[in-house]
A = this chain, B = another copy of it.
Amino acid sequence: MKRIAIDMDEVVADFNLKHLHVFNRDYNDNVTLDDLMGCHLRDLRPHLIQEIRSYLDDPTFFRDLDVMKDSQEVIRALSEHYEIFITTAAMEVPASFTAKYEWLKEHFGFLDEMNFVFCGDKSIIQADYLIDDNARHFKRFSGQGILFTSPHNVNETGYVRVNSWLEVRDYFLR
């Protein structure tokens, strides 16, 4: 059975939606997802880079992110034909460990928690496929990288790209 490793933020968990919401609320701003095309919030508001980052030090930040559309149904279907691992660069945000674990148990409870991986450098991942919004993780990954479209990566070229979980389904279960 082939193995698919799947990232969390911006792939199964809607990080941007909450991050923009709390930022706009706290700084009386109106940044939209369209503004994030090809960049990050920190690039648009560099004078607030510390504040933008500090949201991630809140241990509860990642607990109530929305689930990305169709991800549950598609991953459940994939899990009948592939070994599924969730592989998140949680070491970049150590405060998030418990929230990320609880979020996965709540929304992807049909997966075995022995298949959850909190890592940093994803070259440690042994899998046939890696679905991720950060192309940098594909550089030393030995399998096939699949770039999940997120505003910040829209200008990246040279990768297999999927724009939605329905496109993931078509890629693997066509």
Residues on A facing B (Cβ under 8 Å): 3, 5, 85, 87, 89-92, 94, 97-98, 101, 112-121, 123-127, 142
Contact = CB atoms under 8 A, between A and B. Distances in A.
A120 B118 CA distance: 10
A129 to B, nearest CB: 13
Contact of A119 (B92, B116, B121, B127): B116
A114 B123 CA distance: 10
Given A97-B98, A97-B101, A101-B97, A123 B126 contact: yes
A91 B117 CA distance: 8
A118 B142 contact: no
A114 B121 contact: yes
B126 A115 contact: no
What's the number of copies of this chain in the assembled complex? 2
Contacts of A142: 126
A119 B87 CA distance: 9
Contacts of A90: 118
Contacts of A114: 89, 91-92, 119-121
Nearest to A90: B118
A97 B62 CA distance: 15
Given A94-B98, A115-B121, A116-B119, 4 more contacts: A91-B114, A91-B116, A115-B120, A123-B126
19 contacts: A85-B121, A85-B124, A87-B124, A89-B114, A91-B113, A97-B98, A114-B121, A115-B121, A116-B120, A117-B117, A117-B120, A118-B118, A118-B119, A119-B119, A124-B125, A124-B126, A124-B127, A126-B126, A126-B142
